[in-house]
Amino acid sequence: MTLFPRVLSNALAGSIIYAMLVTPVSAASIKQAKQSLAANDFETALTELAPLARSGNAEANNLLGLMYLQGNGVAQDTAQAKAYFEVGANTGHLASIQNLNIILEAEYKEELKTVRPAAEAGDSVAQTRLGRMYEFGQGVAMSPADAFIWYQKAAQQNDLNGAMNLARTYNFGIGTEQDLVQAEAIYLQGAKQGHIDSMFFLGTMHFAQVSQAGTDADRQAYAWLKLAADSGHAAAAAMVTRLTLKLGDEVATAEALYTEYRQTLGN
């Protein structure tokens, strides 16, 4: 099974941050807290760990998470445990990542009990969700081929999220042969209907010069990415900044294309 993608993507950088956070003082305090836990003196451990956790210490957050998960000295609270594990996991603390994964897998398996029947009954939202569960191994064995099948079912019902994910499978060859032409066509359909992620991925294809736009790729990238950025897409906004510098004097024509698309979308 795979872990929540955001946690995994931050793990390497986070582990460096975590190493910087472990000062001699905090290390000594953690040692004391572990001794208190070993002696089942949970009240003292809580007192020792709480200030460290508030300061962002990953190991302290992990230990507090375990206390809440197991109900040691506090009322058992899986949601609170998860919150503590997330703090540690986001800094790359491996034990926090492992403990968070245990909770997430349990949640995914519980979610699967309702998602699968709904997907099999034809609910397009559930079909898209089941596709993502198969793609990322959430509560099921990872299966890109099954992800492709469920995204396709959702897209056939004109579900924009399902279609966007189907386009991604073609874009990156997930569970099917890579087909950039098909990916671009599906992204474009969603983008024309105002789907933000479709705009973003379409823009990235133009940005990477793998679309069918040829010499017009940069203008197309600028227009679609700026539309996505208008809706708060941070990555799109960063790419627009780079394109603005790249286009130079030609940015005016790209801006005109963006305005044309925006008006067509009714914004």
Q: What is the mean pLDDT of residues 160-183?
A: 99
Q: Tell me the domain boundaries of the chain.
A: 5-104, 122-178, 191-267
Q: Distance between CA 228 and CA 203 in Å, rounded? A: 9
Per-residue pLDDT at 102 exceeds 80: yes
pLDDT for res 267: 72
Looking at this protein, which amino acid is placed at residue 132?
A: R
Give the predicted TM-score (pTM) of the model.
0.81
| CA geometry: angle 6, 12, 13, nearest 5 deg | 85
Q: Which residues contact 54 (CB under 8 A, 6 or more apart)?
A: none
Q: Which DSSP helix (H) or strand (E) runs through 212?
A: none
Q: What percentage of the chain reaches a pLDDT higher than 70?
A: 90
